[in-house]
Amino acid sequence: MVTQIALAADFAIIVVTATVIGFLAKQTGQPTIIAYILTGLLLGPVFLDVVTEEGLVELMAELGLGFLLFLLGIKMRLDDVKEILRPIVNIAVWQTILQTALAFAVAYVLGFTLVETGIIALATVFGATPIIVKILTDKDEITALPGKIDVGVLIVQDIYLVFVLAMLGAGQLDSASEAGITLATITALIGLIGVFSVASSRYLLPKLFREIADNKDVFFVVALAWAFLFISVSEALDLSVEVGAFLAGISLAQLPYSKELEERIGPITDFFILVFFASIGLRLAADDLLAYWVEAVVASVVLMVGNFWIMFYLIDREDFSVETSFLGSINMIQVSEFSLVVGALAIAQGYIGTEILGYLSLMALLTMSVSVYIINYNHAIYARVQPWFARFEGEGKGDVELPEYRDHAVAIGYDEITRSALPFLEEEFGHVVVIDRKTAHVEALEREGYDAIYGDFRHGEIRKAAGLKRADFVLSSTVQPEVNKALLAELPEETTVFVEANWIDDARELYDLGAHYVIMSTHLTAERISEYIELYVEDSASFREYVADDVERIRRHDEEEIDTYMTERLRRSERESEGVADE
């Protein structure tokens, strides 16, 4: 009982400390992963030595690694990079080879043993996927060409990571032939699970999630169960937890529900990741962290510069513009947090000592801290160095035009108002994206040729997927005031916004916040019903004649007439809002 209380206390100390340091990291623009590693260093042998990595912490850390790979898989939507798949594969394969060679050479020159050098080279080749994706998404650059190239390269890197983790998890490899047999076996097993993953994403999962997607709780639980199914199969085949979690995520990533899944899995993943990266710090003593601090500083500088030029050469070789080559390269200069994942597993298998993990940790902390600011100011940096890089311009170089939502219309929710407005919005803006939480609505919209995104509008990933901030017109059919207020606060002033409200007070407030028109369907209906009742009481015959057109329209459901009415209503509302603005 005392042991259980002590373990719970350790866990609580980690969470509270990570929360405080995470808040401070956010204030300075640093990624939370750095805050989690610093939590482990603060609470472990390096500083206070009040928490040890055992029991509950160790279990949660293992789950954290599995969830990290699961979330990584969910982010890998192959449709995002299919337009530039060939050059991305060329870039990614050569990038992996050249950066591994560079990391190996740097570590060897710095005096590490051959085994240590090999582990360091394998560990430091990966880009920091969570950091790169998060910052580029926040900057609205993830769908731009440099962002697409980086995401594509990260996908290939992460597949490579799965093989590295599987090889390290296989135990001691005493000869080249044993390593070759192990690699072939792992490849075959991963291929077997991968085939099942792809097949299920096409034939099984769409039907399953179509049935359950409208139930939020079941939706989330089934996604987790799917992850643990793959994890169990991987363990049964003597593969690592990470392999199963990653392939489970990839199969879910190809579904139209993947953005909503990513949003729901994210918080629980963040929680487990906190413990995992804190546990890295808990394993290190002060001597381990500082054993190779000079080498870590030298290697960090050499690898950041070297990785930039390797990526720049490879992207430029594919005839992309110099700006795209520069931005795609400068985003990928850091040593990833996955270096710590590889290092931790290598320690568990006895390949390296904890001082090498300290070396990798210091490099990750240094390079990730610097790269956060570099990515945030990548365009400003390019503007400064552009005259010098102009020498790399040449004939035949240019960027592929990638499809992305821009200057379009977004409809939030699918009801009678939205349905009637869609044809006019498509004609006027060329493209309409509809966000809705009902699978039946999403399927109906897709059958009619509209782009529909399944998910809750309140989730950031859903809004970004719809290109909300780049839209020219937004129609919200929700009557929840807090949702519409958040919408108006997020959108730029030049975006035309129509929202809906039930009450006059809400409508006034929405107008004050910048809405161009507030649809008062409940208020208008109440006024109309009052008129109808009054007319019916006074003269029932006149009443029947008065509402005959409405009755006939509803019976016939005359779409053309409704569309004409809605088009005129939208145009009249725009004119009225412009008049109010002038006044």
How does residue 294 score in pLDDT terms, banded at 50, 70 and 90? very high
Asked if residue 213 has pLDDT above 80, the reply is: no
- pLDDT top residue among 293 and 45: 293
Asked if residue 574 has pLDDT above 60, the reply is: no
Alpha-carbon span 479 to 457, nearest angstrom: 13
How does residue 529 score in pLDDT terms, banded at 50, 70 and 90? low
Per-residue model confidence (pLDDT) at position 143 = 67
- pLDDT top residue among 263 and 108: 108
Q: Phi first, then psi: give them for residue 434, nearest 5 degrees.
A: -110, 130
Dihedral sign (CA 413, 415, 421, 423) = positive
Q: Domain residues of the chain, as ranges?
A: 2-392, 409-582
Predicted confidence (pLDDT) per residue in 121-151, tens digit: 988 887 777 677 767 766 767 767 888 888 7
Alpha-carbon span 1 to 4, nearest angstrom: 5
b/e burial code for range 55-83 (CB count within 10 A of at least 16 → b): ebbeebbbbbbbbbbbbbbbbbbeebbee
Query: pTM of the prediction?
Result: 0.65
Predicted confidence (pLDDT) per residue in 29-40, tens digit: 777 777 888 888
Alpha-carbon span 125 to 343, nearest angstrom: 12
Alpha-carbon span 28 to 30, nearest angstrom: 6
Highest mean pLDDT among 25-29, 285-289, 358-362: 358-362
409-582: CATH, from 3.40.50.720, 3.40.640.10, 3.40.30.10, 3.30.50.10: 3.40.50.720
How does residue 313 score in pLDDT terms, banded at 50, 70 and 90? very high
Q: In the CATH hierarchy, which fold is given to the domain comprising 2-392?
A: Na+/H+ antiporter like fold (1.20.1530)
Could you report how far apart the first and last alpha carbons of the chain are, in Å?
73
CA distances from 322 to 181, 302, 402, 490, 511 (A): 43, 22, 17, 33, 45
Asked if residue 581 has pLDDT above 50, the reply is: no
Predicted confidence (pLDDT) per residue in 380-426, tens digit: 899 899 889 888 877 656 555 555 677 889 999 888 888 888 888 88
